[in-house]
Structure 1
């Protein structure tokens, strides 16, 4: 059963295991599916089942996903689920050696690239979502004047708000309120810059 806590990734091996384009997609899909087989995931990423199985085993070796209770009578099927509520990757855990810092930056760039790809896909398909979803979706940029402690406080408040909406939505879905409910990606970045 997945832990209700985020797993903090502090070692280079686990970071590299996650920072692989296909593994990151599979990891993200595990959040959407909650439990899945390699065959089910292979269809979604348009890859061979054997390749997807290999990458799922790599994620499992690093404790990012784990085997789940079988959902069918087919003993050949191996079911997977995420091992924790999510992961957190902090810059401070990868600053003590140049190769760690470089791997951390490369991983964050991959995460950003895949997030941008998700948003571009939405933009390309937005007419299929209809007026209500297009009105609800947003893209905003705010240029604030903050100190590092103020940005930290803002980040924590925002994370709590996101968690509240996620728990509320999941509870309503569990209570049978599924009409109109979709997966929603929320990407937020807060960082300093100088013009």
Structure 2
């Protein structure tokens, strides 16, 4: 069994603040999906000026979220970017909850993440007919109501991460082998949180 790789765990408030800007969140997500891209390519996708996009990419790089993809591009006129960690990034609310500013930043970033995910799912719903029967039959949305302890919820999260990591590696391996037919980016959103009815 391969060792479990960890996402970049954010514990510094200034790093987390980088994602309070919705455009930075959007650019990071696009770059994560694309693998590598230039500011101009990303600017077209977000309908912003390349200079503004370039500024935000540099800010994300300053905080260690992005790095230059020096092996891309041939003319050297435009910088290529990639995410710094293939495992993405994560944070724990408890690492920032001890100050009002930390709690506010966590709230802003978490709301931005949820808004981005909901917008992505709504976009799929609006375009689902264009994907065809094979993809619409494969797509899913589910909700389960469970009775768990905090330790059990943590264990379930670790199991779900292992499952999604295995499927992500399978997709990467197939792509590197040239098996790209009928292969698309797939977004999987999993949430687990306590509530009282």
The TM-score range, normalised by the shorter chain, is over 0.9
Residues 145-185 of structure 1, C-alpha deviations (whole Å, 9 max, x = no match): 11111111111000000000110111111111110000000
Q: Give the drift of 1:5.
A: 4.2
Deviates further, 175-184 or 67-76? 67-76
Match of 1:56 in 2: 57
Q: Give the conservation status (yes or no) of the 8 Å contact 2:40–2:50.
A: yes
Q: Equivalents in 2 of 1:154, 1:112: separation in Å?
A: 21
2:73 counterpart SS class? coil
Cα distance in structure 2, aligned partners of 1:84 and 1:71 = 17
- Per the alignment, residue 68 of structure 1 pairs with 69
Which stretch shifts more, 152-161 or 97-106? 97-106
Provide the rounded CA distance (Å) in 1 between the counterparts of 2:105 and 2:154. 24
Give the aligned partner of residue 83 of structure 2.
82
Using the alignment, how far apart are the partners of 1:150 and 1:12 within structure 2?
28
Q: Distance in 2 between matches of 1:159 and 1:6?
A: 11
Q: Please say if residues 70 and 78 of structure 1, whose CA atoms lie closer than 8 Å, have aligned partners that are also in contact.
A: no
Structure 2 runs not aligned, ≥5 long: none
Shift of 1:70: 4.7
Matching residue within 99, 122, 142 for 1:120: 122
* Count of aligned pairs: 192
Contact 2:73–2:80 (8 Å) recurs in 1: no
The offset of 1:19, in angstroms, is 2.4
CA contact (8 A) 1:5 1:84 kept: no
Cα-Cα RMSD = 1.1
Match of residue 172, structure 2, among 164, 170, 173: 170
Structure 2 counterpart of 1:179? 181
**CA shift digits 1:101-122 (9 cap, x unpaired):** 1110111011000100000000
In the alignment, which residue of structure 2 is the partner of 1:155? 157
Partner SS for 1:88: strand
